[in-house]
Amino acid sequence: MQHPDKSRVILTRTEGDGTSDYDEILVAAETPVDAAGERVFTVSQLWGTPDGPLSVGPGMNPDQVIDPWFPGPGGVRFRFFTFLPTPKQSAAIQPVLLEHAKGDILSNFGEAFDPERPGMHISDSVDFVHILSGEVVLELERREILVRQGDIVIMRGGWHNWRNETDQPCTVASVMVGANRP
């Protein structure tokens, strides 16, 4: 059964005897709102792993980790993120992040933003982003590019901003792998 505001995740596991099986979980989408009650974005925290190297094998089934938002070195976060259409999205996201950054779905996300450059943020991660629907402008410090459905962005720890300048949502699948910054 499909749920428009939930994603079905098939979660495999390896039993102690080495046989494989699965569980199904539904992950609800969350949509923070700004001070005026307007939706700013939608996120589904699908899965994440603890920081550091992981082991797999009989009986080794790490629990889901989605907090903090940015993983530490070796940690992974997998999520769907929808940039909602709004001309002021970049400016609107920052206050929402700061408001929600106290331990819930967005902990440590607000501190990644540059207060002097609305929307610009950075993380110590390598991000694999696949545009599933819509289009969004990827703004970098030297230039920007329009990315569309089907495009893939490999973000390697640089300053960036996403702007949805259309009247349609843009949904991406994103896998973040925590890294070290010297």
Whichever domain contains 128, its CATH number is 2.60.120.10
User: Quick check: is 21 in a domain?
Assistant: no
Q: Which residues contact 180 (CB under 8 A, 6 or more apart)?
A: 73, 124
Position 172 scores a pLDDT of: 96
68 preceded by cis ω (within 30°)?
yes
User: Quick check: is 88 in a domain?
Assistant: yes
Q: Could you tell me if 111 and 101 are in contact, meaning their C-beta atoms sit under 8 angstroms apart?
A: yes
Q: Which of 5-9, 37-41, 63-67, 129-133 has the lowest mean pLDDT?
A: 37-41
User: Quick check: is 22 in a domain?
Assistant: no
User: Quick check: is 165 in a domain?
Assistant: yes
User: Quick check: is 19 in a domain?
Assistant: no
Q: Could you tell me if 107 and 101 are in contact, meaning their C-beta atoms sit under 8 angstroms apart?
A: yes
| Vertex 30 angle, CA 160 and 25, to 5° | 115
Give me the percent of the chain exceeding a pLDDT of 90: 62
- pLDDT digit string, tens, across residues 72-121: 999 999 999 999 886 555 455 555 555 544 445 556 766 777 888 888 99
Position 128 scores a pLDDT of: 98
Q: What is the pTM of this model?
A: 0.84
Identify how many contiguous H helices and E strands the chain contains and give both numbers. 1, 10
User: Quick check: is 16 in a domain?
Assistant: no
Distance CA 91, CA 36 (A): 13
Q: Which uninterrupted H or E stretch holds 92?
A: helix 89-100
- pLDDT digit string, tens, across residues 5-27: 899 999 999 999 999 999 999 99
Q: 30 pLDDT exceeds 80?
A: yes
User: Quick check: is 40 in a domain?
Assistant: yes
User: Quick check: is 2 in a domain?
Assistant: no
Identify the domain containing residue 119 by its residue range: 30-178
Question: How many folded domains does the chain comprise?
Answer: 1
